[in-house]
Amino acid sequence: MTACSPAVFHPAPAGNGESHAAPAFATNNGQAITAEREQGGAEQNTGGPGEDDAVAPLPALAAEVSNVRETQREAVAEGASDLEAAHQEHLAQLAAEEERLEQEQAQAEAELERQRLEDQAAEEAAQAEEEAAAEREEDSEAEAPTEDTPAPDAPIPEEPAPQEPEQTRPGTSSDAPVFAGDLDHYLEQLAEHHPGDISISVAELGGQARTGSAAGAESRVSASTYKVFVAYGILSRVESSEMDWDDPIDGGRDRATCLNEMISVSDNPCADVFREEIGWEGLRDIAAETGGPATDFIPAYARTSANDLTAFMTALESGALNLSPESRSRLLGALESNIFREGIGAGSAGSVLNKVGFIDGYLNDTAIVRHPQGTYVLSIMSEGSDWNAISAITRDIEAALY
């Protein structure tokens, strides 16, 4: 028997990172097969992922989605609430603006009506003056001899020279309150004694320098009394050379004529031009300068108080206003020639330099009164009263002072 060479095993070279299992040789007890099976089982056990590495369970995902949606719903609800609040605020602002515009329109209409009434009153007064002058002229012509009628032989008696009306002490109301020394209390009694809602302010210049008021600081519709502040503004601007007295203002009238007629006959067209020249802010500055805390000017109307008017007229009469003597005399002269005398002018025994204002039931009168026994300033503002009440109050105050 020929001897066989022993089998020689040559391992294959390792390449490309591949591993090769060693070959199994058959044995009598089948160990090679067993090893191969164990090796295959090990590879199966270390192979792909197991059940423990699966994705998260579905109930957890559903809860997370639900939370996200709930957060979104809350954000949407909060945004809707904010939007509704902003909408309501905008509606409220629109309503307030509409109400403000309606008020301004009503005030503007009231101012136009006031101007119309004052223009009408001024025209009627001017017409009455013209008619009276015409009657006087006719009477004079009737009394004078004409060329066709020779004068009688007897001398015509000369007419007496015009005499100043005798200043008599006005009587007081029989049932009027009695002055007991407290001027404020007395003025309050007088205001309550007469019809309407009345404010009174009085200041004695010289003498005992007494002052008093009843609701004197109350802000009221000024009507045309505001024109004294306008006049001061024009006088100041002429003095500073911003304006000139010869400037044409209205209907061929120059500035000097317009200022006089704005005060003496309460001319509104002149006041309108002056007010535009000064401006509303300029008028407010004038009120602050003259010490009028309740005086205010807005485009629709003007407001002031009895105390503010008295303070202005007191400063004018005493020379405390920042005006030259010429300007001061010009304004005092216009006040002295005022044609409206039914209020303080009718109740005083003195010489009255005044400015009235009247519109829609408001009757106001502010005056410098140069009484034979002393000078004082009186301002009366009323709503729902009448000129008779203002003149009666003047009589009673004068009786208490003098």
pLDDT, tens digit (0-9, with 9 covering 90-100), for 147-157: 333 333 333 23
DSSP 219: -
| pLDDT tens string 63-80 | 888 888 888 888 888 888
Average confidence score pLDDT of the chain: 81
- Contact in structure between 339 and 264 (CB atoms under 8 Å): yes
The one-letter amino acid code at 393 reads I
Give the whole-angstrom CA distance, residue 54 versus residue 397: 108
Beta bridge partners of 370: 351, 375
- Report the pLDDT value the prediction gives residue 133, as an integer from 0 to 100: 66
* 264-269-270 Cα angle (round to 5): 55
* pLDDT band at 139; cut points 50, 70, 90: low
Q: How far, in Å, are 24, 65, 109, 179 from residue 302 at the CA level?
A: 122, 68, 13, 34
Beta bridge partners of 199: 381
Give the whole-angstrom CA distance, residue 213 versus residue 219: 14
pTM score, two decimals? 0.59
Which tokens belong to 28? Answer: 């009598």
Give the whole-angstrom CA distance, residue 131 versus residue 150: 30
| pLDDT tens string 87-114 | 888 888 888 888 888 888 888 888 888 7
Is residue 308 predicted with pLDDT exceeding 90?
Answer: yes
Q: How far, in Å, are 222, 276, 284, 380 from residue 281 at the CA level?
A: 17, 10, 5, 26
Which tokens belong to 297? Answer: 């000017």
- Contact in structure between 343 and 380 (CB atoms under 8 Å): yes
- Contact in structure between 302 and 232 (CB atoms under 8 Å): no
Q: Where are the beta strands (DSSP E) in 155-221?
A: 197-205, 211-214, 220-221
Q: Which one, of 303, 323, 319, lies nearest residue 381 by Cα?
A: 303
- Report the pLDDT value the prediction gives residue 174, as an integer from 0 to 100: 61
Give the whole-angstrom CA distance, residue 109 versus residue 208: 45
Over residues 29-36, mean pLDDT:
46
Contacts of 305 (CB under 8 A, 6+ apart): 199, 201, 216, 217, 218, 219, 220, 292, 293, 294, 295, 381
Q: Which one, of 227, 176, 214, 184, lies nearest residue 307 by Cα?
A: 214
3-class state of residue 150 by DSSP: coil
Is residue 134 predicted with pLDDT exceeding 80?
Answer: no
Beta bridge partners of 204: 376
- Contact in structure between 381 and 198 (CB atoms under 8 Å): yes
| pLDDT tens string 317-376 | 999 999 999 999 999 999 999 999 999 999 999 999 999 999 999 999 999 999 999 999
Give the whole-angstrom CA distance, residue 203 versus residue 310: 7
